[in-house]
Amino acid sequence: MRIPFVAGNWKMHKTAAEAVSLVDALFPQLNTLHTIERVLCPPATALAQVHQVLKGSAIGLGAQNMYSEEAGAYTGEISPLMVKEFCRYVILGHSERRTLFGETDESVNRKTNAALAHDLIPIVCIGETLSENEAGQTANVIIRQVADGLKGIDARLASKIVIAYEPIWAIGTGKAATGQDANQVVARYIRPTLAGIFGSGAAQDIRVLYGGSVKADNATEFFNQPEIDGALVGGASLKAADFIGIAQAAAASQQ
């Protein structure tokens, strides 16, 4: 049984005070959804304050990125030890990191290994561009991102990994994939590649999320798919009612 997982990626939105206000608005209802794993990923500058608010609750806190080294001359970066002070989760290899900040499968692999070594749960993002999709390259891209991104990871740690399949053409565009198409990408390319790396038993334990224009009104379409275990939500995670609606849809999909 894979526990449904819903995470909000707030990207570069919200000062620390604004982040605390959004958590205050989310908390009462999000806190009641005990059957799903729910995670908030505010900007790094808000992690300490949001951590104080969430302390003692079952709502998880995640960073949006980190570097793979523990400390050193890496201006502007934050380390796994620093993330660990406040968070249990970290988003890695988001497409905005890959396309705007030069991240590669190799850097994502180093970061994923570092996250697991520090007992953090990595949410590893993968996904094809529109031109790759139109050129029939989705399978190649996805298989490569999974295989290279997760290279060298001990199969005993596999169940801690969360994969977010986020077709880049669906992120922030309002044009989500269909539930069926996203499910097929997981069933045909992601899960078999995970099985090749970790063995088929371990691959069955790994949660795979869909991300890309998930809203309260289309979330159920994804959560009803057998291979999709939740969602990584961008825009809609910034509005309390919308994110609560998505989390409630995830909880309802279990019944």
DSSP per-residue codes, 194-212: HHHHH-HHHHHHSEEEEES
Please calculate the CA angle 109-207-203 and round it to the nearest 5 degrees. 75
Stretch touching ligand PEP by CB under 6 A, among 29-37, 72-80, 105-113, 210-218:
210-218
38 Cβ partners below 8 Å, 6+ apart? Answer: 5, 6, 7, 30, 58, 59, 60, 247
- For strand 60-63 and strand 37-41, is the pairing parallel, antiparallel, or unpaired? parallel
Answer yes or no: 13 catalytic: no
Nearest CA to 39 out of 213, 245, 243, 253 is that of 243
Residues 143-202 that bind ligand PEP (CB under 6 A): 166, 171-172
Residues 215-254 that bind ligand PEP (CB under 6 A): 232-236
Answer yes or no: 69 catalytic: no
Q: Which is nearer to ligand PEP, 42 or 198 (CB)?
A: 42
Please pick, among 37, 94, 96, 132, the residue that the annotation labels catalytic. Answer: 94
Report, in Å, the least distance between residue 242 CB and ligand PEP. 10
Please list the residues that pair with 163 across neighbouring strands.
Answer: 124, 208
Report, in Å, the least distance between residue 73 CB and ligand PEP. 30
Q: Which member of 4, 42, 211, 230 binds ligand PEP (CB under 6 A)? A: 211
Q: Which is nearer to ligand PEP, 151 or 239 (CB)?
A: 239
Q: Which is nearer to ligand PEP, 191 or 215 (CB)?
A: 215
239 Cβ partners below 8 Å, 6+ apart? Answer: none
Binding site for ligand PEP (CB under 6 A): 9, 166, 171-172, 211-214, 232-236
